Amino acid sequence: MTILLAILLSFIALIGTLFVGREVNRKIREFGPKENQAREEHSRSLQYEKSTFSRVRVYTLIYGITFLIAILSLVVYFSRL
């Protein structure tokens, strides 16, 4: 049962990762080549840095939870042996 829960949560983490990856691709297209002026480029750079920090927090949360669940699953598994 615990292993199934770990597999399910890992699958959910994978879906979350793919969702965040799609957001990155959307931002890359949004910030792609255009008629750029220095001020516009600087503004977009600051906005991109802020959104990147947000994505790092999401990745950390997703993988942190998955790691804890995996460790707890191993502890439960080995305590039953």
Q: What is the pLDDT of residues 49-68, one digit of tens each?
A: 777 777 788 888 888 888 88
Residue 35's pLDDT is: 60
Low-confidence spans in the chain with pLDDT less than 50: none
Nearest to 64 by CA among 21, 10, 11, 24: 10
Q: Which two tokens stand for residue 37?
A: 């002026």
Residue 31's pLDDT is: 66
Alpha carbon distance 44, 19 (integer Å)? 22
Residue 33's pLDDT is: 63
Question: Could you tell me the residue ranges of all domains in the chain?
Answer: 2-79
pTM greater than the 0.75 cutoff: no
Alpha carbon distance 9, 73 (integer Å)? 11
